[in-house]
Structures are given as C-alpha cells and as structure tokens.
Amino acid sequence: MFYFRLSYAIVNRFMGEKKAFWIFYLLGFIFWAPCSAHAKPPQTGHQNGNAIMEHVADAHSWHFATIAGKHIELPLPIILYSADRGVECFSSARFYDQNHQSIPFHGYHLVHETIHCLDPNRSVLDLSITKNIAAMLLSTLLLITGLLWVSKRYRQAPLAPPKGYFACIDLIISFIKNEVAMPNIGPQHCARFLPYLLTIFCFIWLNNLLGLLPGGANVTGSISVTLVLAACTTLITIFNGNKHYWHHIFKPEGVPSWLLPIMIPVEILGILTKFFSLMVRLFANITAGHIILLSIIGLIFTMKSISIGFLVSLPFGTFMFLLKLLVAFLQAYVFTLLSAIYFGQAVDEGSH
C-alpha cells in the first residue's frame, strides 16, 4: 500500500489528479480484476487446479471471478446426443453441488471438462456450447451488429465524411483493401477475396481483444479454432487455384522429368506446411501471451509481501498487457496477409 500511495502521489504531482485517477483505475482494472478472477479457481473435479491453464483451456461454464469463496460464473448448456436417448439438454450447473464439487448427473460425469458416460456400453456425442463457442457467438453478434450499423449509415449518407466509429471501420476496410489485398492479389481478383479477408481480420482481432478482458475466453488461443480458420484459407486457395498454380505444383518449369517424383511430394507438402503454419502461429502466440501475462500477475500472490509482489508485477505486467494489445493486431494482420499471399499465388497468371 505504501508503494501504491507513493506512485499515486508522483503521478498526481506531474499529471494532475484527474489523469492520475484514470491511470490507476485502468491499472487496477488490468491487474486486480484478473487476479480476483483466478485467485481461487473453481474446483471442477480436481483439487488445487492450475488457474492459468484453466483460464487458457475451454470449459463448460463461463467463470468470471471468485469473491469470498463464491464462484461468479455463467452455466452453459450441455447438449448430448445418443442413439437410445436422442438429444438431451440441461445446464452445466447440474454437474456441481452447493460446494461446487463435481457430481454425476443423469448417467453422466464431468471430469476435467470432459463429459464421460457412466455406462461403458453407451456412446454419446457431445454438442455442448462451451465457453469458447459462447465467446465466438458473442463476438460474431457484435461484429455483425457493428458492420450492419456501418452499412446502414453509409446507405443513408454515402457522401458524408466518416466520423468516430465509422471512421475507424472505414480505415480498417481501406487498410485491408489497399495494403493487403490489392498488392498481393492484384486489382483483377481483389474484389473476389476482399470480403473473406475483411471478415477473418475483424474476427481474429475482435476475439484477441475480448480475450484480454477479465474473465474473457481464449478463443484464438484454441487449436480447434485456429485449425478451422487455417482450413478455410487452405480450401479457398486450393479451389481457386488456376492452371498455372497447379502446373507449378505438378510440373514445375525447368525441372527434369526424373526429378518430378521428388518435387511433386515436396510441393504438396508445401501446401500442408502453409496450413500448419497458419494454424500454429496464431494458436501459439495468443496462448503464450496469456500464460506469460497471468504468470506475471501471479507473482503478486506467490511472493510473501503483497506490496513487493505488486511493485514487481506492475511494470512487467503493464508492458506485457500493452504488448498483448499490439500482438492482438499483429496476429490478425499476419493471418490476413498470409491468406492474401496464398490467394495471390493461386490466381496468378504466371506472366512474370
């Protein structure tokens, strides 16, 4: 507390009372909210779980905070399908008692966020809405609502200069079109791929930013999500490849015929490598950023002195949080840029 008061007095002296208040309010929002959310993680069938990994991993309930031993969370729907019972829907809260201990329900048991059937002879398909799925639905709703609002605004006043929120969206569209799509795909095919590039950029960037909020979900840090995004880019590239693209893969110019049995598998492996790099790059960078940031915040509780822990964690945590804001944009930009490069290679006419 002494270090907190001293820091506040210094900032107040040089920047004024109003700016000092908002700076320390923001720092408190960044640090103390995540700490309260993960200081006492929920017990989901395993005692003394790792709070950091529980934040990074997916779950069947959306946990926001733990205050005075009480878990503030949103139970999510469990949707199961089996041949004998059909579709079953119930709340994930059914798997916990009043002390938040895992209990079986209706022949099922939730262990380590995986639903197991107590009858070994029954097979069940899990179609539940998990935290990552709920976060994706929320981000998709925000994205569609915001872009429809912008579209309506432009239809009402197409010649009016954009201001505020509309200027930000206009800047993003112009940036993706003029700096990403046009140079890498070309003016002839740019319009065909621009909607996908804009969608993938806004989706990744928005989910990266929402994941930084206290209690936010680690959507883009899930390997299943990045796998689908990378698969979409790869499939679009393959199905839009022209004859020059496939000719370069199956019969590269200047390559002797006896070398083709070696070069063709290498070229096909290159397609798979592009898919793998897109998937792993986004997943690894976002997940690593979450783990490092939460580890630095955890120093506050691992050190014996709260004041010393806060003094150590504050500068490093602030730097990592600001770096995460930059990484949130960079990863969305890199994924979109690489997708545009792959599309450009697929539709290139081979004139040069």
The reported pLDDT for the residue numbered 36 is 37
The reported pLDDT for the residue numbered 304 is 56
Residue 113: inside a domain:
no
Question: Which tens digits make up the pLDDT trace of 55-76?
Answer: 777 888 887 766 766 777 888 8
Please give the C-alpha separations between residue 28 and each of 18, 43, 64, 101, 297, in angstroms, as whole numbers: 15, 26, 16, 31, 12
pLDDT band for position 228 (50/70/90)? Answer: very high
Question: Which tens digits make up the pLDDT trace of 298-320?
Answer: 776 666 555 666 666 677 777 77
DSSP for 107-162?
Answer: TEEEETTEEEESSTT---EE----HHHHHHHHHHHHHHHHHHHHHHHHHH-TTSPP
Residue 328: inside a domain:
yes
Say which amino acid occupies 298: G
Residue 66: inside a domain:
no
Structural domain for 301, as ranges:
131-347
Most confident region among 13-17, 165-169, 238-242, 252-256 by mean pLDDT: 238-242
Residue 160: inside a domain:
yes
DSSP for 13-55?
Answer: HHH-HHHHHHHHHHHHHHHHHHHHHHSS---SSSTT--HHHHH
**Average pLDDT of every residue of the chain:** 78
Residue 105: inside a domain:
no
Distance CA 74, CA 307 (A): 33
pLDDT over threshold 90, residue 215:
no
Residue 264: inside a domain:
yes
Q: Residues near 52 by Cβ (< 8 Å), separated by ≥ 6? A: 38, 290, 291, 294, 295, 298
Per the structure, the count of domains in the chain is: 1
pLDDT over threshold 60, residue 80:
yes
Residue 109: inside a domain:
no
The reported pLDDT for the residue numbered 23 is 47
Long-range CB pairs of 1-4, under 8 A, 24+ apart, other chains included: 1/307, 2/307, 3/307, 3/310, 3/311, 4/307, 4/310
The reported pLDDT for the residue numbered 24 is 44
Residue 103: inside a domain:
no
pLDDT over threshold 60, residue 35:
no
Question: Which tens digits make up the pLDDT trace of 93-112?
Answer: 888 887 778 888 888 888 87
pLDDT over threshold 50, residue 352:
no
pTM of model > 0.85: no
- How far is residue 184 CA from its own chain's centroid? 25
The reported pLDDT for the residue numbered 141 is 93
pLDDT over threshold 90, residue 232:
yes
